[in-house]
Structure 1
Amino acid sequence: MKTLGTLLILAMCLISLHLNAQEQPELTVKDSIVKSSWIFTVGTNFVDDSGDEFGSLFDIEDSWNSVPYPSRISIGRYLKNGIGLEAIATYNKYKEGKVVDNQVVTEDIDYLGLDFKLSYDLNMILGETGFFDPYVGVGAGYTDANNQGRGTYNAILGFRTWFSEHWGLDFSSTGKWTMNTENSSNHIQHAVGVAYRFATEKGLSRKGEEKKALLDEIEKEQQRIQDSIAAQQRADEEARLLAERLQREKEAAELAAAEKAKRDAQEARRAKIRSDIESLGNVFFSLNSSYLTRKDKQVLDQLAQILKDNPSLIIKIEGHTDSRGSDHYNQWLSERRAKRTWDYIISKSISEDKVLNEGFGESKLKNECDDNTPCSEEKHSKNRRSEFVIQALD
């Protein structure tokens, strides 16, 4: 069975190598185009307002007007669906001696225009034509020409040619039909300018999309082969992993048993230390006294030995009093008792950081013998003590 699986993997690998060895198309920069962008242009414009501009389109010498500096700017937003919205501002000057409205003007006259254009990218119909980007459009605007202001209906035909993703040239001709037919004439405005394209969003051209579809099919076939190889490899791997898992489970069970035995031994040691300290009991003091008796010192000697035998053990000595006397006095006395006990332990070569001490006054009575409860001396004596509390034990 294992030999059959190996042969299957080998066959799949050979098929995969054959597919990879075949020449396959690749997506390149030429397969992507700008789908949407902002376009800013700066250029110049030429106005033909001769009165017969639609009959003599190229009567440049007598009818076309221009200025020798940039006279046109525009900004527009162009969308993925081919629609473009653009605002255009132009300046020009009717020159003395040119024909305007079928008359020769006798002085220079300013021309001002502000237009808004709705355009459509013809590449959406023709298909991507590389660097050539033709468009048509309609619009409206306001023109002050020949000392006459008028609204206009506009029709535009133009194209852009791009040298890079961002830079190109824009050529257009706009027919402007006046809204005021009595006092003003129609005219044509030609324009050429440098175009800068920014905030671009790119996508695949039609050829790029076809190429990508082909690449997707090739990738799916290669993936199918790889999936078949991977399935056989997984089957072999699962068998190997099962054997390894069983071995790990066995080793883990043995390790867990050893760890449990170690923990049980450590817990038994801790329990014995706690029991040894508890069996020592407390150090008890006479009324108003903080002095240790010989019997007390014997208890503390045993405690010191326990501390020496267990380096990780840290204890706190808590000093207490009975309820007789003022709170302030009892607090002072409890601290003195705790300190006296601490001093003795330290004197037995015990490190100071292994033993803490704190006084609690009469705040932790062992019985009911508070300020309002009469008690025998024997009961009061149960509260005059130093206790040993374990703080840390590894």
Structure 2
Amino acid sequence: MKAYKNVLAVAILLFFAKSFGQEEIALTAKDSIVKSSWMAGLGYTIIDDSGDVFDQLFDADSQWNMVAFPSRASIGRYFESGIGVEAIAAYSQYKEGKIIDGVVNDTDIDYWSIDTRLSYDLNKIIGQTAWFDPYVGVGLGYTDANNQGRGTYNAVVGFRTWLSDNWGIDLNSSGKWSIGDNATNHIQHAAGVVYQFGIEKGLSKKGEEKLALIEELEKERQRVADSIATAKRAEEEAKALAERLAREKREAELAAAEKARQEAEQKRKQQLLDAIESLGKPYFALNSSYLGRESKSVLDGLATLLAETPTLKLRITAHADSRGAEKYNQWLSERRAKRVLDYLTKKGVEADRLIGEGLGETQLTNHCKNDVPCSEAEHRVNRRTEFLVVEY
């Protein structure tokens, strides 16, 4: 039921806030109360020791005794539980002509008392008010009245009304019962100002209820904000997912296109390599750079292929076998490379599409190194020209 009431209250607050643009509910100074404090008081003491107890209680002319100056001082500590512990000192005079113990007093007599008191704040039961602070209490004390000292049992009822957090007015009446039968009972009235210090504040019951409503409202607002954030996050995630899928699709399409292009290029390159390979290699006679009929036939086929493929550029390497000095073989391979390039340019191939290089005996294709016995056929395969694709 309490949860239902809180939810209903939050709903009402939201409705009115949206409908009328009211300011947000917030705690104010009126929602806080003093939970505990020290309290000092100074005031007047009025003694009624007429002997008739509560008969003619307010007969101030004949029964009330007091002095014209502040005659009561108190100090106390008051706790959040509503309990207060106080010490009180009071002074007065039984005035000449007043009724004391049923007899008209014929001379002024000093009165004083020292009391301790345990009080309880009734607002803890009836609820906090902005200014009215009733209390009851009991205690023990010592009183010298009518020239008779006696211990007393005390009971008090009173209230304080607060002008600010610190200053207030205290009005109370105490019944003081003598311990023993040698003295009479009497009533002590008091009126004065009190000052609170060492104050510790907290929320009143209404303040706590308001705080609970504020917290419920904040939870509801947070829930709405979280819902909006969740929806926005879901929308952003969906948008990001769509963008990622679109990007992945584009990347996949580009990758597929690139793969197809590379495969086509590789196929084209392989076709060129196969075509070049099918032509064979020009071979040279021992110690010769002249092109024979078979070599020229290979170069004629290569010139035709270059004419059919204008983007094709070749690196042409000429080689020698291992017989003879290395420097000689290097020089001879360079002449062989030049012979090949000159032949192809005469056939109409642009010179900038050809790179010639002589490699001497550095790249033998078999075991026929220096001082290794080999047949003429084995040496011949090393006196070759090779064609490497640079661009196509």
The match for 1:122 is 122
Matched residue, 1:152: 152
1:179 aligns with 2:166: no
The sequence identity of aligned pairs, in percent, is 61
Q: Tell me, in whole angstroms, the C-alpha distance in 2 between the residues paired with 1:47 and 1:164.
A: 29
Q: Which has the larger radius of gyration?
A: 2
| Equivalent position of 2:200 in the other structure | 201
Higher mean C-alpha displacement, 71-80 vs 55-64: 55-64
SS in 1 for 2:55: coil
TM-aligned CA deviation for residue 22 of structure 1: 5.5
Q: Name the aligned partner's letter for residue 36 of structure 1.
A: S
C-alpha distance in 2 between matches for 1:198 and 1:112: 27
1:1-394 correspondence to structure 2 within 5 Å: 18=18, 21=21, 24-181=24-181, 183-231=182-230
Matched residue, 2:255:
none
Whole-Å separation in 2 of the counterparts to 1:143 and 1:18 = 66
How far residue 77 of structure 1 moved from its aligned partner, in angstroms, is 0.9
Runs of 5+ consecutive residues of structure 1 not aligned to the other structure: 1-14, 242-394
Matched residue count: 226
Cα shift at 1:129: 2.1
Inter-partner Cα distance in structure 2 for 1:238 and 1:112: 84
What is the deviation of 1:226? 2.1
CA distance in 1, matches of 2:86, 2:237: 64
**CA positional deviation for 1:232:** 5.5
Give the secondary-structure state (helix, strand or coil) at the position aligned to 2:118. strand
Deviation, 1:88, is 0.4
The Cα shift of 1:178 comes to: 0.3
Instruction: Give the CA deviation at 1:225.
Output: 2.1
Q: How far does residue 233 in structure 1 lie from its aligned partner after superposition?
A: 5.8
- Give 1:120's aligned amino acid: Y
Partner SS for 1:81: coil
Letter in 2 for 1:125: I
The 1-side partners of 2:137 and 2:38 are apart by: 17
Cα separation, 2, equivalents of 1:194 and 1:81? 23
Query: What's the secondary structure of 1:184's corresponding residue?
Result: coil
Question: SS of the residue aligned with 1:176?
Answer: strand
In the aligned structure 2, how far is the partner of 1:195 from the partner of 1:167?
6
Cα drift, residue 229 of structure 1? 3.7
- The change in CA–CA distance for 1:79 and 1:240 in structure 2 (over 3 A counts) is farther
Instruction: Report the alpha carbon displacement of residue 219 of structure 1 after superposing the two structures with TM.
Output: 0.2
AA at the equivalent of 1:94: Y
Query: Deviations 1:218-250 (Å, cap 9, x if unpaired)?
Result: 100111122234445667889999xxxxxxxxx
Range with bigger deviation, 215-224 or 99-108: 99-108
Whole-angstrom distance in 2 between the partners of 1:62 and 1:85: 34
Judged with a 3 Å threshold, the aligned counterparts in structure 2 of structure 1 residues 20 and 215 are, in CA distance, closer, same or farther, namely farther
The residue type paired with residue 119 of structure 1 is S
Normalised by the length of structure 2, the TM-score is: 0.54
SS across alignment from 1:165: coil
Counterpart secondary structure, 1:62: helix
Cα distance between partner residues in 1 of 2:44 and 2:238: 78
Q: Judging changes above 3 Å, is the alpha-carbon distance between structure 1 residues 85 and 238 closer, same or farther for their aligned structure 2 residues?
A: farther
- Unaligned 5+ segments in structure 2 are 1-14, 241-392
Superposition RMSD in Å:
2.5
Distance 1:133 1:97 in 2: 36
What letter is aligned with 1:186? N
TM-score normalised by structure 1 residue count: 0.53
